[in-house]
Structure 1
Amino acid sequence: MKKALVVLTNVTRYKGTDDPTGLWLGEATEFVEEIQNAGIDVDYVSPKGGFVPLDPRGMKYVDASIMKMYESDDFQQRALMHSMKPTEVNPDDYFAIYYTGGHGVMWDFPMNSELQKIALSIYHQGGYISSVCHGIAGLFNIKDDNGEYVIKGKNITGFTTSEEILAGKKKVVPFLNEDLAKQRGENFQKKRAYKEFAVQDGHLITGQNPFSPRAVAKLLLAAVN
């Protein structure tokens, strides 16, 4: 079977501040664990390739399974140290693309045209575009051949405004997911803050927050099995 492509951020700090950010570790490892347990391989890509920083806040929520993958040589080397550049990716190799979160993605996912082309190619081949939490930032600007947003009119979810307020980052982030979703004509779905929630609309599968990567993976696996 084809592989899943996991997208990671290269951003090390909140823009305009000294506060560190990066990948929310569990949003990668929990999704990957579910996919690999189903016998499917994954690859890792980031906008610049190479080094992927970790959001220190996310390290407060690790468990044994997250740490096991984090400490593995494969994850250290292929995800955190030597992630692929978009130019190294062949979309034909993948049945799905999955955008991870961590606040850093809000600065390097939305305007990356190379990743958008990869996602659209996978989508056009009958594959799936998926995300969790702030990873929805990677979906907002993907347009089809007619210039329409792929997520227009679709049921999707992502990190909510109330969750951003609770995180204390509402005034720091460049946009709010719910607001941008309305601008794109999406049907933004949400449940209680920081509770697991994922939604599927055709070949789009999205999760609300850091507690939702496994739910995204399970919907994806159910869709292809």
Structure 2
Amino acid sequence: MTSSETTSAKAKAPTSRVLFLVSSAEIGFWLAELTHPFWHLTERGASIDLASPKGGKIVPDRTSDPYAEGSWEADDLVSRGFLGQEVLKARLGGTLAIKDVNPDDYDAVHVVGGGGAAVDLYPNSDVARVLERFFALGKIVGTICHGSIALANVPKRVAGRRATGFSRVEDAQVEDLYGADFIPNFPQPVMEAAGIVFSCVEPWGVHVVIDKMLITGQNQQSASEYAIAFNHLLAGSSPVVHDRE
């Protein structure tokens, strides 16, 4: 095959389509948990659609915005780059409504975290419909941080499965800043009540769990590792070779 034929073949290669579910709640979503997977997945050719309960505009938690005063993520170069591109930033202003989404159009789903996910992505019958279809078809289901609470919408699919999300200890530390019960549901107890075998590491530590086609990340610090592992699931293999000698 000539170089021009190789280039043409790459251009015509089918790309994966990934659906991102993001909160519409006022408290917002966590920006890094959208931007890091967005970057890693699109870098490998994936096409991404954003969907939210209400559709239309979604807003990041202010403390996750690297340009905001008092941001927890001031050094997040990925989020800075995303917001610095008007064409990407505009994607946050025009999400699909989850009720209108056809799961059959996608190869995988990623549920973005942030406190808002615990407000309007659980309990949510539209989210349940989408996740149920992905599980039924054996497609990749990925969730991170507070977004992992969405798994509890389909308890029959997740009971006995291994997963992680924002831990109750981490939420307790956030409560010290935002006040007690700053969200109506906390991921860890809700997930455990749904029968999930929940695991986590120390607060703000990096932790990713893969259980067959279900992949979950503990928090925003896990976003890049989660996204890379997500890419490997999409590809069906990892390009990393370990020299064990």
What range describes the TM-score normalised by the shorter chain of this pair?
Answer: 0.7 to 0.9
Aligned to 1:71: 84
**2:46 is equivalent to residue 40 of structure 1:** yes
Q: Which residue of 2 aligns with 1:127?
A: 139
| Long gaps (5+) in structure 1 | 13-20
Contact 1:29 1:70 in 2 (8 A): no
Residue 8 of structure 1 pairs with residue 22 of structure 2: yes
Mapped to 2, the partners of 1:120 and 1:95 lie a distance apart of: 14
AA aligned opposite 2:229: L
CA RMSD of aligned residues (A): 1.5
Unpaired segments ≥5 residues, structure 2: 1-14, 66-70, 236-245
Offset, 1:139:
1.2
**Match of 2:120?**
108
Look up the equivalent residue of 1:172 and give its one-letter code: F
Q: How many residues align?
A: 211
TM-score in terms of structure 2 length = 0.81
The range that moved more, 193-202 or 121-130, is: 121-130
Match of 2:11 in 1: none
Query: In structure 1, how many angstroms separate the alpha carbons of the residues matched to 2:56 and 2:169?
Result: 33
2:103 to 91, 95, 120: 91
Amino acid at match of 1:214: S
Question: What secondary structure, in the 3-state scheme, does the structure 2 residue paired with 1:179 have?
Answer: helix
Please say which of residues 213-222 and 168-177 is displaced more in the overlay: 168-177
Q: Return the index of the structure with the highest Cα Rg.
A: 2
Residue 25 of structure 1 corresponds to 31
Q: For 2:78 and 2:193, how far apart are their aligned partners in 1?
A: 38
Letter aligned with residue 28 of structure 2: G
After superposition, residues 163-202 of structure 1 pair within 5 angstroms as: 163-168=170-175, 169=178, 170-202=180-212
Deviation, structure 1 residue 77: 2.2
Amino acid at match of 2:207: F
Q: 1:175 to 1:86 in 2, by over 3 A?
A: closer
In the alignment, which residue of structure 1 is the partner of 2:150? 138
% identical aligned pairs: 26
Q: What is the rounded CA distance, in whole Å, between the counterparts of 2:122 and 2:140 in structure 1?
A: 18
Amino acid at match of 2:226: V
Q: TM-score, normalised by structure 1?
A: 0.88
Deviation of the 1:152 alpha carbon: 0.5
What is the distance in 2 between the residues matched to 1:113 and 1:171? 23
Identify the residue that residue 167 of structure 2 maps to in structure 1: 160
Q: Which structure has the highest helix share of the two?
A: 2
Q: Distance in 1 between matches of 2:86 and 2:192?
A: 41
Q: Does structure 2 retain, via aligned residues, the 8 Å contact 1:131–1:216?
A: no
Aligned partners of 2:228, 2:86: CA distance in 1, in Å? 25
Is the partner of 1:6 in helix, strand or coil? strand
Aligned-residue offset at 1:88: 3.2
Cα displacement string for residues 80-104 of structure 1 (whole angstroms, at most 9, x for unaligned residues): 1100012332212211111111101
Q: CA deviation at 1:182?
A: 2.1
Instruction: Give per-residue Cα distances to partners, 1:151-174, cap 9 Å, x unaligned.
Output: 110110000011111112553222
Q: How far apart are residue 123 of structure 1 and its match? A: 2.4
